[in-house]
């Protein structure tokens, strides 16, 4: 029996058609995967279902009757609930308040708390309703959203990239919960680009590419490779790793300890590691476990005691970012817009942003605009950045292109050590592949690279050594070759405080 039917839905934004003639059918009690690269139109489609976006044309039917929610409240009232990837929780409010905000006719606060406890037990998702959301881990935050949805007794639950913030064990628990929901007759629209997960969980998969449906398949019977090619449209380039001997230790971190820089930050606790010439060190972990803080302590944005960070034996923990750049340590933070790059400035100015020191773009404090322009254009050419010109504002570039620019800017300064946080977050597959290749090339040329990422597949692909960051602590470094997903899961600290769900389905 069909729950939601979408017939030739089209939605255009100026310059792009986000959805073209998309048709889709979700049946009662099925887990339906929506698969596609970044920018394929998945978000627009689910926003239309959730009433956040108004389609230009096309029809939707829910339980056989016409369905066109003008806003999310109408969608919720009709039985559609959504777990967002980000942007939907209020840090300063409590769990119960957050949940109450997502309910249409909420009972008094005390009753909300009681229902939270009930549902969290029923589905094996422990959560204290009185805690402030800003203090929760990423996994716990997601539980808030899931419970918020479950309290509405949804007929259709939309989940947008739900596993990107979870450890492997937490993923297992989430899947148990979702399977239990399916057995109770709830349909789930599951958005992801992780093929193995979809094969393990989903009944049907609809693949989107460039806004159009390019295929529907049964993921249990289709190979991951076939689905990937359907999604990307061509065979993917897999980065090539060359074997090379590792050289001397370049960057050494000893007993790095630092307080949380802001209220909801993570303190760093006694982190120690070395990286060698030619090595790629992959640091895995769920976001919010000290990644930003570690990058800040390495880049120089956060100063620590001098001896905690040494570069070629020289203590640099108290130096500012430019002094570290001069010595050969460059970094690329996670957030492109507003941290690694200034969105309202031109690419030339953004090239100057970190390149001034090593590329000698200033003379006695005066800017040499022609040299900065040359540098920006060199990055654009070498890293295939799609931009109208070097004078374009950074905000006018797509996520993948801006990321290529940011990574390219650091790599072209020929650093001895490069620290990158989330190199391919929100980047399309081809750009991600070329960024990974560039990282490997830099290591081959004799630099040490530290890559921090939540994407374990990515880390396994490019790292020589692997370590996990959990609650501000770093695990032992281990050779990446031969690590199993279970090993990694244990390094990541398992399922944190989560008990294994007892699902009585």
Which residues of the shown chain bind other proteins in the complex (CB under 8 A)?
Answer: 13-14, 44, 47, 51-54, 68, 70-73, 76, 84, 87-93, 97, 100-102, 106, 263, 299-301, 320-323, 325, 331, 333, 335, 338-345, 349, 352-354, 356-357, 362, 365-367, 369, 392-393, 395-396
Beta strand 465-470 pairing with 309-311 = unpaired
CA nearest 146: which of 135, 155, 137, 158?
158
Closer residue to other proteins, CB minimum distance, 70 or 245: 70
Shortest CB 321 distance to other proteins, Å: 4
Shortest CB 344 distance to other proteins, Å: 5
Closer residue to other proteins, CB minimum distance, 96 or 217: 96
Q: How many residues does the chain have?
A: 505
Shortest CB 228 distance to other proteins, Å: 27
d(CA 310, CA 298): 10
Shortest CB 269 distance to other proteins, Å: 23
Three-class DSSP category at 113: helix
Exposure string of 451-487, with b = 16+ CB inside 10 Å and e = fewer, is: bbbbbbebbbbbbbbbbbbbebbbbebeebeebeeee
Shortest CB 377 distance to other proteins, Å: 17
Residue 443's contacts (CB-CB under 8 Å, 6 or more residues apart) are 244, 278, 279, 280, 449, 464
Three-class DSSP category at 192: strand
Closer residue to other proteins, CB minimum distance, 148 or 404: 148
d(CA 302, CA 290): 13
Both tokens of 355, joined, read: 């390149």
Shortest CB 256 distance to other proteins, Å: 19
CA nearest 178: which of 206, 143, 220?
143
Shortest CB 367 distance to other proteins, Å: 6
d(CA 440, CA 6): 44
Shortest CB 283 distance to other proteins, Å: 19
Closer residue to other proteins, CB minimum distance, 242 or 366: 366
Closer residue to other proteins, CB minimum distance, 305 or 342: 342
Q: How many helices (H) and strands (E) does the chain have?
A: 16, 23
Shortest CB 248 distance to other proteins, Å: 27
Closer residue to other proteins, CB minimum distance, 55 or 219: 55
Closer residue to other proteins, CB minimum distance, 335 or 487: 335
Both tokens of 125, joined, read: 């998702």
d(CA 376, CA 491): 40
Shortest CB 29 distance to other proteins, Å: 27
Closer residue to other proteins, CB minimum distance, 197 or 334: 334
Closer residue to other proteins, CB minimum distance, 236 or 345: 345
Closer residue to other proteins, CB minimum distance, 107 or 247: 107
Closer residue to other proteins, CB minimum distance, 191 or 340: 340
d(CA 246, CA 278): 5
Shortest CB 251 distance to other proteins, Å: 18
d(CA 143, CA 429): 29
Residue 292's contacts (CB-CB under 8 Å, 6 or more residues apart) are 265, 266, 333, 334, 421
Q: According to DSSP H, which parts of 254-330 are helical?
A: 291-299, 321-327
**Which residue in this structure is represented by tokens 């390149």?**
355
Cα angle 486-422-53, degrees, rounded to a multiple of 5:
105
d(CA 238, CA 229): 13
**Which residue in this structure is represented by tokens 């709830």?**
186
């Amino acid at each position: 029996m069909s729950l939601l039917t979408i017939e030739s839905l089209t939605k255009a934004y100026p310059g792009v058609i986000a959805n073209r003639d998309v048709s889709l059918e979700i049946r009662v009690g099925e887990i339906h995967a929506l698969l596609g690269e970044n920018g394929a139109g998945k978000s627009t489609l689910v926003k239309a279902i959730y009433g956040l976006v108004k389609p230009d044309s096309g029809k939707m039917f829910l339980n056989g009757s016409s369905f066109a929610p003008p806003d999310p409240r109408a969608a919720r009232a009709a039985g559609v609930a959504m777990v967002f990837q980000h942007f939907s929780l209020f840090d300063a409010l409590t769990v119960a308040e957050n949940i109450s905000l997502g309910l249409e006719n909420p009972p008094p606060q005390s009753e909300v708390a009681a229902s939270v406890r009930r549902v969290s037990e029923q589905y094996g998702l422990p959560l204290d309703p009185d805690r402030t959301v800003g203090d929760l881990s990423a996994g716990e935050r997601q539980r808030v959203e899931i419970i918020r949805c479950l309290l509405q007794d949804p007929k259709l639950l939309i989940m947008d990239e739900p596993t990107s913030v979870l450890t492997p064990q937490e993923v297992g628990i989430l899947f148990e919960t979702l399977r239990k929901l399916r057995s109770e007759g709830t349909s789930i629209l599951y958005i992801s680009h992780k093929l193995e997960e979809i094969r393990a969980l989903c009944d049907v998969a609809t693949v989107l590419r460039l806004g159009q449906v390019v295929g529907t398949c049964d993921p249990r019977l289709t190979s991951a490779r076939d689905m990937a090619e359907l999604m990307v449209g061509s065979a993917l380039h897999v980065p090539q790793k060359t074997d090379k001997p590792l050289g001397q230790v370049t960057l050494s971190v000893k007993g790095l300890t630092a307080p949380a820089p802001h209220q909801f930050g993570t303190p760093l606790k006694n982190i120690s590691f070395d990286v060698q010439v030619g090595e790629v060190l992959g640091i895995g972990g769920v976001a919010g476990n000290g990644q930003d803080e570690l990058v800040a302590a390495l880049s120089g944005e956060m100063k620590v005691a001098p001896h905690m960070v040494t570069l070629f034996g020289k203590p640099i923990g108290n130096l500012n970012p430019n002094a570290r750049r001069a010595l050969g340590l460059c970094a690329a933070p996670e957030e492109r817009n507003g941290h690694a790059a200034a969105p309202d400035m031109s690419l030339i100015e953004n090239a100057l942003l970190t390149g001034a020191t090593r590329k000698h773009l200033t003379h006695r404090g005066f800017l040499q605009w022609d040299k900065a322009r040359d540098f920006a254009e060199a990055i654009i050419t070498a890293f295939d950045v799609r931009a109208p010109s070097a004078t374009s504002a950074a905000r006018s570039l797509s996520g993948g292109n801006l990321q290529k620019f940011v990574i390219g800017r650091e790599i072209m300064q020929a650093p001895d050590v490069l620290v990158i946080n989330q190199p391919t977050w929100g980047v399309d597959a081809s750009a991600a592949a070329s960024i990974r290749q560039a990282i490997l090339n830099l290591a081959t040329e004799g630099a040490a690279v530290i890559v921090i990422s939540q994407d374990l597949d990515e880390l396994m692909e490019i790292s020589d050594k692997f370590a996990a960051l959990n609650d501000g602590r770093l695990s032992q470094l281990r050779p990446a070759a031969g690590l199993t997903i279970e090993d990694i899961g244990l390094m990541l600290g398992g399922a944190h405080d989560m008990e294994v769900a007892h699902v009585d389905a």
